Structure 1
């Protein structure tokens, strides 16, 4: 009879020990899950002042890992797991920055950025090929003129070719060195000044350099031919038709211009008091002749209204994504254009160091858009996007997580006491 009792107590002890150990495993999984929550919350709190940081949350789910009732329709959860859930698509508050080259996105877009992988012999960065995306728009120029954010990522955009003055079509790091040359402004007006020898019958030439919208130079040649004592013809030397860019100029008794009758490229005539319209290369312009007079010598010359010199003074950012080089002559010129990239599921991007992300198969392919198109969002200059951390909410969650962690430790200590009691049952 005693042996039967001993065996019964043994079976009771084994069953009890198994249940208690399962309870310990469950409590340990709870400790691990709450530790995971602590990590997420502490990361949010630590980055509450980090520009462009996107706060995450912790999701909990139950598991059935080792349950004797698992096959009879009455299975019970005996474990918990925690996962980090990203909220990259949350919009942070846009605030004014003291950094004039900072940019903040309001919308779904990301800046295209790359990292430096090293330095060349002349200390310029060697940029990697891995494409990154970020909302940290706190950009400033480094010593080489590159736009770099506070996490060390180099901003990419479409750069203007220094030779042709045209905007590129492929992304590259934006660099505006202090040695950047000023591109002459587009010529809109040519001005002739000087005298024509009223007694001379020879042709008098004048020329100047005019510039198109990209700063490319062209030579404009005009010639004067005397028709009478008070009438001269002026025309474009390079015009073979004899009609375009030509005019008949009449002088009054004092030798000043009194009227200008001209023909455009269609042959239509028009009369002005002192100018005519020039059409063709490099672009349409006005030619002013009011500064020409009849005299005793041929000293006529011509200038354009283009500004041709300027010293670089800095850069400015525009809300349409334009990066402008500013000069001491008061002019600014486009040097690059910043696009924004969107994803079908931004919350599935892979987080990297420094508030940067890389694309994944779950996020979808990157779609490059102009600012304020296709939901990419708008840009605010001289501003940054703040962290989306909710300090008050996260501190409250931290207290709850602490209590849950303490409750799980209580389960472990209670299970330990029960285990000791069970082991003593047949001693």
Structure 2
């Protein structure tokens, strides 16, 4: 009987010991998996230490409580660990100067709005997908079709200027600045009249000119001259039937040159100048210079605007307010698109995609599109990039710690195996 009791006791000891040992193995294996996860995060950070716009991640460890029999105080003990990757997309990377003049770096919480190409259409322009992506990789350059594409192959979106109307759009689309882009005439600010008026004229003399508004749209301004006497003429807007605005009385001296101009605006206010008067209305307010008009024996008077009407595309430039400008060989530049920045309530909950890009999730909150430097979206630095946030020295140190922890867990597995073999041999 004593032998049977001893055998049963050894059996219970063996069962309890085996349960404890197996639990230890389970814990050690979870530790191995957790440290492997940490290795993956650390190696990814180290590999991307030179990747533009990369946001280094960290590893969070969490203990788990399972239903075990080790505790003797009525409470279960923690006997496993799990590791999760913690994104840090809200960390600011260092902004450094780039040799790429079209590169942009964000200092703040915003993201660029980008699209990914799904293939090429028949005319070799990209077929862009509908999935909206967000990125901090602002190393953009023009492709062969004039689109702005970053080093990860994502196409920058913004509000494009309508080529016909010259107005800024209200919906996002891929920004394209082709080399064939046409120069929009600059806004007219001054009209200049030159030539002679026939001192013997008995009928009005028209003086038309083409003027351009801020969008480059053309319109005709027609001023009509009417003789009052040998030294006095009136000039007014030929399309203004009331004659209440854009009219002036011009006095000539004995040599036939303009000596004074007295004008009247729509409010009835008069002003006198030696050579000019103010034109108000469509397409915009301008100054009309009459110093080049003289009295003569024939009507050859004409009028031109100060608008620059032609130019050849020479490249693009980026502005700190998000403006994309087309530059021309005449020294002028014109707005072709405006870049906004998008923010999220919780950017760390964005879903990471290939190429330093992200997609929105229910946890990140809805995307909020903002103008540059508003609502915390941040500022832009041109000709610059945002560097990776990887702390190379720190991550290498953490890698050593993770390696030691991994080795310690393997030691636990090896020791538990030896204990298990000893336990199995207890009643043999």
Interval of TM-score (by shorter of Structure 1 and Structure 2): over 0.9
Q: Please give the alpha-carbon distance, in whole angstroms, between the structure 2 residues aligned to 1:207 and 1:97.
A: 50
Per-residue CA distance 1:288-334 (angstroms, 9 max, x = gap): 11001111111111100000001111111111111111111000111
Q: Please give the alpha-carbon distance, in whole angstroms, between the structure 2 residues aligned to 1:257 and 1:17.
A: 114
Shift of residue 71, structure 1, vs aligned partner: 9.4
Q: Please give the alpha-carbon distance, in whole angstroms, between the structure 1 residues aligned to 2:165 and 2:200.
A: 46
Is the CA contact 2:350–2:364 (under 8 Å) kept in the aligned structure 1? Answer: yes
Shift of residue 247, structure 1, vs aligned partner: 1.1
Q: Please give the alpha-carbon distance, in whole angstroms, between the structure 2 residues aligned to 1:4 and 1:229.
A: 143
Q: Please give the alpha-carbon distance, in whole angstroms, between the structure 2 residues aligned to 1:364 and 1:49.
A: 29
Is the CA contact 1:341–1:366 (under 8 Å) kept in the aligned structure 2? Answer: yes
Per-residue CA distance 1:210-252 (angstroms, 9 max, x = gap): 0001111100111111111111111111011123111111111
Shift of residue 160, structure 1, vs aligned partner: 0.8
Q: Please give the alpha-carbon distance, in whole angstroms, between the structure 2 residues aligned to 1:74 and 1:38.
A: 33
Q: Please give the alpha-carbon distance, in whole angstroms, between the structure 2 residues aligned to 1:112 and 1:132.
A: 6
Q: Please give the alpha-carbon distance, in whole angstroms, between the structure 1 residues aligned to 2:117 and 2:310.
A: 34
- Indicate the residue corresponding to 2:108 in structure 1: 107
Shift of residue 268, structure 1, vs aligned partner: 1.6
Q: Which SS does the other structure have where 1:78 is aligned?
A: strand
Per-residue CA distance 1:81-134 (angstroms, 9 max, x = gap): 111111111111000011111111111111111111111100101111111111
Q: Please give the alpha-carbon distance, in whole angstroms, between the structure 2 residues aligned to 1:309 and 1:70.
A: 87
Shift of residue 27, structure 1, vs aligned partner: 0.6
Alignment of 1:48 onto 2:49: yes
Q: Which SS does the other structure have where 1:68 is aligned?
A: coil
Shift of residue 158, structure 1, vs aligned partner: 0.8
1:17-32 superposed matches below 5 A:
17-32=18-33
Q: Which SS does the other structure have where 1:115 is aligned?
A: strand
Is the CA contact 1:66–1:78 (under 8 Å) kept in the aligned structure 2? Answer: no
Q: Please give the alpha-carbon distance, in whole angstroms, between the structure 2 residues aligned to 1:307 and 1:26.
A: 77
- Segments of 5+ residues of structure 2 without an aligned counterpart are none
Q: Please give the alpha-carbon distance, in whole angstroms, between the structure 1 residues aligned to 2:77 and 2:125.
A: 62
1:280-291 superposed matches below 5 A:
280-291=281-292
Q: Please give the alpha-carbon distance, in whole angstroms, between the structure 2 residues aligned to 1:418 and 1:267.
A: 108
Shift of residue 70, structure 1, vs aligned partner: 6.8
Q: Which SS does the other structure have where 2:39 is aligned?
A: helix
Shift of residue 72, structure 1, vs aligned partner: 5.2
Q: Please give the alpha-carbon distance, in whole angstroms, between the structure 2 residues aligned to 1:135 and 1:312.
A: 29
Is the CA contact 1:193–1:291 (under 8 Å) kept in the aligned structure 2? Answer: yes
Q: Please give the alpha-carbon distance, in whole angstroms, between the structure 2 residues aligned to 1:368 and 1:175.
A: 20
Per-residue CA distance 1:245-273 (angstroms, 9 max, x = gap): 11111111111111111111222211110
Q: Which SS does the other structure have where 2:22 is aligned?
A: helix
Distance 1:71 1:148, change over 3 A: farther
Q: Which SS does the other structure have where 1:330 is aligned?
A: coil
Shift of residue 200, structure 1, vs aligned partner: 2.8
Q: Please give the alpha-carbon distance, in whole angstroms, between the structure 1 residues aligned to 2:286 and 2:119.
A: 50
Shift of residue 14, structure 1, vs aligned partner: 2.2
Shift of residue 156, structure 1, vs aligned partner: 0.8
Q: Please give the alpha-carbon distance, in whole angstroms, between the structure 1 residues aligned to 2:286 and 2:6.
A: 115
Q: Please give the alpha-carbon distance, in whole angstroms, between the structure 1 residues aligned to 2:389 and 2:342.
A: 20
Q: Please give the alpha-carbon distance, in whole angstroms, between the structure 2 residues aligned to 1:159 and 1:32.
A: 50
Distance 1:117 1:128, change over 3 A: same
Per-residue CA distance 1:141-186 (angstroms, 9 max, x = gap): 1111111111111111111111111111111111111111111000
- Indicate the residue corresponding to 1:82 in structure 2: 83
Shift of residue 11, structure 1, vs aligned partner: 2.6
- Segments of 5+ residues of structure 1 without an aligned counterpart are none
Is the CA contact 2:52–2:137 (under 8 Å) kept in the aligned structure 1? Answer: yes
CA RMSD of superposed structures (Å) = 1.3
Q: Which SS does the other structure have where 2:158 is aligned?
A: strand
Q: Please give the alpha-carbon distance, in whole angstroms, between the structure 1 residues aligned to 2:348 and 2:71.
A: 35
Per-residue CA distance 1:28-85 (angstroms, 9 max, x = gap): 1100000000000000000100111111111111112241257953321111111111
Is the CA contact 2:197–2:294 (under 8 Å) kept in the aligned structure 1? Answer: yes
Shift of residue 206, structure 1, vs aligned partner: 1.5
37-46 or 195-204, larger mean C-alpha shift: 195-204
Shift of residue 203, structure 1, vs aligned partner: 2.0
Q: Which SS does the other structure have where 2:229 is aligned?
A: coil
Q: Please give the alpha-carbon distance, in whole angstroms, between the structure 1 residues aligned to 2:357 and 2:334.
A: 30
Shift of residue 196, structure 1, vs aligned partner: 1.1
